Amino acid sequence: MDVAGTGPAGLDAARHGGYDAMILDVMLPGLSGYELVRRLRAEEHWLPVLMLSAKDGEYDQADGLDCGADDYLTKPFSYVVLLARLRALLRRGAPERPTVLAVGDLRLDPARRRVTRADAEVALTAREFALLDYLMRRPGQVISKIELLDHVWDASLETAPNAVEVYVGYLRRKLGRDRLETVRGAGYRLAT
């Protein structure tokens, strides 16, 4: 484990250090955590990044994830939870992640917060966008409600599992019923 005290030093370490994962604070001198991870992703460095911040609003978290972080944890946090999230990042590894996600005729641009289907723009709420983003990063895979709750909803709030059903319904109405499949007893799958 190494520590970098500034954004530029962290960027250099991430580029050349050969690390398995990075824990990144948003507020770094010289270069913010947001900008650091944006630069890494623009250079196609797919090092898993867990972003830490005292900024706990849902838009702050969405900004951190949209700029390229793989997970976002707000301060104060439990070290038990920090280590568990880091282990989860390491289990997922660092698959290549293109700037614009594409599955069939569906396109999602996280940086511009834009979704199109067959070249027609689709307006989504922040939660719908986050849900679709998570599913599009795993096309064809069955994703359980619990996994969706863990990664799309705020972990510090209790959210009923039927919230996933509600938002899947919203996405189906906007994208077409054929895009999101229900796998009974297991979860949902984005059709490829």
- What pTM was estimated for this model as a whole? 0.54
Beta bridge partners of 101: 108
- Residue 34: closest CA among 56, 66, 5: 66
Asked if pLDDT for residue 15 goes beyond 90, the answer is no
Contact 80, 54 (CB under 8 A): no
In angstroms, the first-to-last Cα distance of the chain is: 39
pLDDT digits (tens, 9 = 90+) for 74-109: 888 888 988 888 888 888 766 556 668 889 999 998
Q: 161 or 4, which is more confident?
A: 4
Beta bridge partners of 49: 22
Question: What pLDDT, on a 0 to 100 scale, did the predictor assign at position 192?
Answer: 82
Question: What pLDDT, on a 0 to 100 scale, did the predictor assign at position 98?
Answer: 62
Q: How confident is the model at residue 41 (pLDDT cuts 50, 70, 90)?
A: confident
Structural domains in the chain plus CATH codes: 7-92 (3.40.50.2300), 101-190 (1.10.10.10)
Question: What pLDDT, on a 0 to 100 scale, did the predictor assign at position 87?
Answer: 87
Asked if pLDDT for residue 46 goes beyond 90, the answer is no
Question: What pLDDT, on a 0 to 100 scale, did the predictor assign at position 184?
Answer: 92
Question: What pLDDT, on a 0 to 100 scale, did the predictor assign at position 96?
Answer: 59
On average, the pLDDT of the chain sits at 86
H or E segment to which residue 114 belongs? strand 114-117
